[in-house]
Amino acid sequence: MKSICVLGLGYIGLPTASLFASHGHQVLGVDINAEVVDTVNRGEIHIEEPGLQTLVKAAVHSGHLRAATAPEPADVFIIAVPTPDIPTDGGKRADLSAVEAATRAILPVLAVDNLVILESTSPPGTTRDLVARLVRDEACMMPGQDVFVAHCPERVLPGQILRELIGNDRVAGGVTPRCAKHAADLYRTLIEGECFETDAATAEMAKLMENTYRDVNIALANELAGIAERLGFDANEVIDIANRHPRVNLHRPGVGVGGHCISVDPWFVWHAAPEQARLVRLARDVNDAQPLHVAQRVCTMLDQHRGDRIAVLGVAYKPNVDDVRESPARPLVEALVQAGADVRVHDPHVQRWHYPLLDLEAALDGADLLLIATGHRAFRELSPVSVGGLMRARLLFDAPGLLDLGDWRAAGFTTARVGRP
Ligand code: SAJ
């Protein structure tokens, strides 16, 4: 059993800390936010994630998990702090200040034979050029000999974090092969998936390319939707049929790509090699343009029926979550407002947004057009007849393709969706 210090008690750090604690390790969770530290020490949590409350409570009560605002000596240090993006003229760049601050915070307590793991998603080269360099130059310890440094990126889906932390395969990218072996051995005490050993730069790039793969494929689906709208066929039907091929997995068109991962990570790849990463960049541009494309189609529909009031349902970045980071609903709503529409917004999962949120009835009341922007499961239960009763005109734009449009047409709605003329 090891003593483990986890820096950053967010969506990844807290589940990781409590899982290691529940597997018998002695864990100290570190966060610069004293409120977070107090919450965890009470056995409570400050984020929403299924199963996490029970796990943290048990880990704290068993004495295996506690929290503090500064690191203490340990066998292992796991850095799981955010690498947020900073918008620049050419896309987005990673802000590595939290990774640097966390690394600097462990240097005073770092000892020979310790293992330092960077879990945060980072641009290629970060583990070697930032983390290992600070250890070597400022703590005067040689990575690979005196201490071990590795990158082990998280790759879990919000909403299924605990299950995926255990079940998914992992990669341990060491600054040297010994570093990779030490890191992999640690995760093998926790996970049921396999842990692959490689070098740090390969692990960084693998993580970035997983999300870039998805971004490029969603861009392809959005492009297909535009082609379908132009040529007069249904993109989703094409996708359903094409995906019956055993080696094809077309993704789905929608309002665009949001979240703090897929809409951000490809930029780290592009910045590292802009001349080579042409497709990566084009996919980003296609997906970023998608909310404006949807706004244009909605405005055209509204103009044809001389309406001006829109009820937008769903602002989270994807279905059934409360996360609004980088949500394409934001540029979509901004474009509609700019075009002069009177926009009313509702999302059953989201409490606060940059634009006022109304309850469902207030958003629908007197609207000319209903725009489904995020495909939350709850919207499937909407009754076309009651919704139509609240609205002034019966126009429906179902961007994610969530609803059975036949039912809505039967209730007198004129309908449209992305990927269909
Ligand atoms: N989307 C589409 N069409 C699709 C699929 C998704 O438009 O066919 C949109 C969604 O609506 C959303 C965005 O893409 O706006 C991203 O959603 P997502 O569910 O694909 O991914 P994330 O960002 O929630 O989580 C991803 C995951 N990566 C992959 O599936 C390759 C997760 O495993 C990573 O751990 C996470 O990024 C991360 O932290 O990097």
Q: Tokens representing 108? A: 């005073």
Count of CB atoms within 10 A of residue 5's CB? Answer: 26
Q: Using a 6 Å cutoff on CB, does residue 251 contact ligand 1?
A: yes
Residue 64 burial (CB count, 10 A): 20
Q: Is 318 in the pocket of ligand 1 (CB under 6 A)?
A: yes
**Ligand 1 center to 320 CA (angstroms):** 13
d(CA 2, CA 21): 10
CA angle centred on 20, ends 16 and 25, rounded to 5°? 150
Ligand 1 centroid distance, CA of 376 (Å):
15
Cβ–Cβ < 8 Å for 235, 225: yes
In terms of Cβ atoms closer than 10 Å to its own Cβ (0-12, 13-18, 19+), residue 113 is exposed
* Ligand 1 atom 37: residue of nearest CA: 261
Let me know how many helices (H) and strands (E) the chain has, helices first: 16, 15
If you measure from the C-alpha of residue 262 to the centroid of ligand 1, how many angstroms do you get, rounded to a whole number? 6
The number of the ligand 1 atom at minimal distance from the alpha carbon of 158 is: 24
pLDDT confidence of residue 88: 81
85's enclosing H/E stretch is strand 85-88
The secondary structure of the chain in percent helix, strand, coil, rounded to multiples of 5, reads 45, 15, 40
3-state SS, 328-347, equals CHHHHHHHHHHCCCEEEEEC
pLDDT by 10-residue block (mean), the chain, 421 residues: 96 96 97 97 91 96 97 98 84 92 98 98 96 97 97 91 94 98 96 96 97 98 98 97 98 95 94 96 98 98 94 95 93 97 96 95 98 97 97 97 96 96 86
DSSP 254-289: -S---SSSTTTHHHHHHHH-TTT-HHHHHHHHHHHH
Measured by CA distance, the residue closest to atom 35 of ligand 1 is 155
At residue 230, the pLDDT reads: 96
Distance CA 166, CA 45 (A): 20
Helix H or strand E segment including 397 = strand 395-398
Ligand 1 atom with the smallest distance to the CA of 323 is 24
Q: Is 195 helix (H, G, I), strand (E, B) or coil?
A: strand
Q: Return the active site residues.
A: 207, 261
Instruction: Report which ligand 1 atom has the smallest distance to the Cα of 210.
Output: 31
- Tell me if 11 CB under 6 Å of ligand 1: no
CB crowding 245-281: b at 16 or more within 10 Å, else e: eeeeebbbbbbbbbbbbbbbbbbbbbbeeeeebeebb
At 184 the pLDDT is 98
Model pTM?
0.93
Q: Which residues contact 375 (CB under 8 A, 6 or more apart)?
A: 254, 314, 319, 400, 401, 402
Among 120, 261, 294, which is best to mutate for testing ligand 1, by the most ligand atoms less than 8 A from CB? 261
Give the pair of three-digit tokens for residue 185: 């051995």
Q: Would the CA dihedral through 285, 287, 291, 297 be positive or negative? A: positive
Angle at which helices 278-304 and 200-231 cross, to 10°: 30
* Cβ of residue 239 lying under 6 Å from some atom of ligand 1: no
What backbone phi and psi angles, to 5 degrees, belong to 194?
-85, 155
- 406's enclosing H/E stretch is helix 405-410
Determine whether the shortest distance from the Cβ of 257 to ligand 1 is under 6 A: yes
Classify burial at 188, counting beta carbons within 10 Å of its beta carbon; exposed 0-12, middle 13-18, buried 19 or more. Answer: middle
* Inter-residue contact 256 to 239 (CB < 8 Å): no
Contact 365, 390 (CB under 8 A): yes
pLDDT at 163: 93
Per-residue tokens: 393: 């005109």
CA–centroid distance, residue 281 to ligand 1 (Å): 17
Q: Which two tokens stand for residue 351?
A: 């409490």
